[in-house]
Amino acid sequence: MTAPQTPDRNPRRAFIAAAGAGVAGLGFAAIAPGLHLMAVGEANAATEARKAGTAASPAVRWGLLIDAGKCAPGCTKCIDACHTENGVTEKLPDPRQNSQWIRKIELVDRRDGRKTELPMMCQHCANPPCVDVCPTGASMKRADGIVLVDRHTCIGCRYCMMACPYKARSLVHVPLTEQNPEVPRGQGCVESCTLCVHRVDKGQTPACVESCPEGAMLFGDLNDPSSAIAKRIASVPTTQVRADLRLNHGVRYQGL
């Protein structure tokens, strides 16, 4: 089942923002007059496809539909493609310290032993807890729904990692070399799936989608009723992981 869509400006966030702004107002003006609170992630409306110099459009909501029934057991092509595309190549002695932008999860149903595999990554929530908790606004949601980390303002506090219900974020635990110029990464910063934003902005699909030999991943605009992804979601049962949290994901699953 697809959980009902919730508006982006839900009451919880609005309340927290108001309370926080109240606390801030008590002292911030005195501490730093002249500084302006930045509305991170907001952008001017653009109705056309993204071109250099234009802002991302809030009319678009990029999303992924993953058919777990088609995801081949043992296949890691999406992971390999993602990590190659984004230069996530470091292999540390403790695998728990490696960055994993996407991973395969093996599920066994406790009732009947049925096995399922699926790729898990940032779910690109409309109401992302990581964005709520980030002290500097480095965790941000772009106007077109892609959740990103600004590597220039991330201070590495890891509060977003505590807040993410999907373990989708990683801290870069070591100094990095030989990065992909289109995908800046940095030691001490938190990172996660960007939905290959650098490819999407060029009109391409994310690397994981392109690499899947089974065609299990469908990328597109959730807001466009004529898009393949929107039509599929309208016609088949789909799931949002931990839909009880009402985070309104950009990533949906089929066949769970």
Partner 1 sequence: MTLNPRHEEGLFYLLAAIGGLVSAIGIGAALYMEHSGHVVTGMNNQVVWGLPHVVAIFLIVAASGVLNVASMGSVFGRKLYKPRAPLSGLLALAMISGGLAVIMLDLGRADRIIVAATHFNPTSVFGWNVILYPVFYGVVAVYLWTMMERRMYPWMKVAGYATFIWRIVLTTGTGSIFAFLVARQAYGTALLAPMFIIMSFCWGLAVFLVVQSTMYAWNGLTLPPLVLQRMKNLLATFVAAVLYFTIVLHLVNAYFAKNIAFEYFILFDSEFAGMFWVGQILLGTLLPLALLFNPATASKALWVNVAALLVVVGACFHLYVFIIGGQAFPLDMFPGYDVKSSFMDGAVDHYRASLPELLLSLGGLGIAFTMTTIGVRILHFLPQDDLAELEAATRATD
Q: Which of 6, 153, 180, 205 binds partner 1 (CB under 8 A)?
A: 153
Closest to partner 1 by CB, 113 or 215:
113
**Min CB(97)–partner 1 separation in Å:** 5
**Min CB(90)–partner 1 separation in Å:** 9
Q: How far apart are CA 166 and CA 66, in angstroms?
A: 16
- Tokens for 166? 């999907």
Q: How far apart are CA 62 and CA 250, in angstroms?
A: 7
134 binds partner 1 (CB under 8 A): yes
**Which residues neighbour 222 within 8 Å (Cβ) at sequence distance 6 or greater?**
61, 62, 63, 145, 229, 230, 233, 250
Q: How far apart are CA 37 and CA 42, in angstroms?
A: 13
**Min CB(104)–partner 1 separation in Å:** 6
What are the distances in angstroms from CA 57 to CA 61, 139, 141, 221?
Answer: 9, 18, 12, 11
The full length of the chain comes to 256
Question: Using CB under 8 A as the criterion, what x/- string covers residues 40-69 for binding partner 1?
Answer: x-----------------------------
**Min CB(220)–partner 1 separation in Å:** 24
Closest to partner 1 by CB, 187 or 204:
187
Closest to partner 1 by CB, 117 or 201:
117
- Which H or E run includes 162? helix 159-163
Radius of gyration of the chain from its Cα atoms, rounded to whole angstroms: 19
Question: Using CB under 8 A as the criterion, what x/- string covers residues 77-106 for binding partner 1?
Answer: ---------------x-xxxxxxx--xxxx
**Min CB(75)–partner 1 separation in Å:** 13
Q: Considering CB under 8 A, how many residues would be counted as binding partner 1?
A: 73
Closest to partner 1 by CB, 162 or 236:
162
- Which H or E run includes 201? none
Residues of this chain, 13-42, that bind partner 1 according to CB under 8 A:
13, 16-17, 20-21, 23-24, 26-28, 31-32, 35, 37-38, 40
Q: Which of 3, 59, 70, 132 binds partner 1 (CB under 8 A)?
A: 132
Stretch that binds partner 1, among 10-18, 42-50, 59-67, 201-209 (CB under 8 A): 10-18
What are the distances in angstroms from CA 162 to CA 15, 91, 113, 119, 192?
Answer: 21, 23, 31, 21, 14
Closest to partner 1 by CB, 111 or 225:
111
Residues of this chain, 165-224, that bind partner 1 according to CB under 8 A:
165-167, 169-175, 186-190
Beta carbons within 10 angstroms of residue 93's beta carbon? 6
Q: Which DSSP symbol is given to 9?
A: S
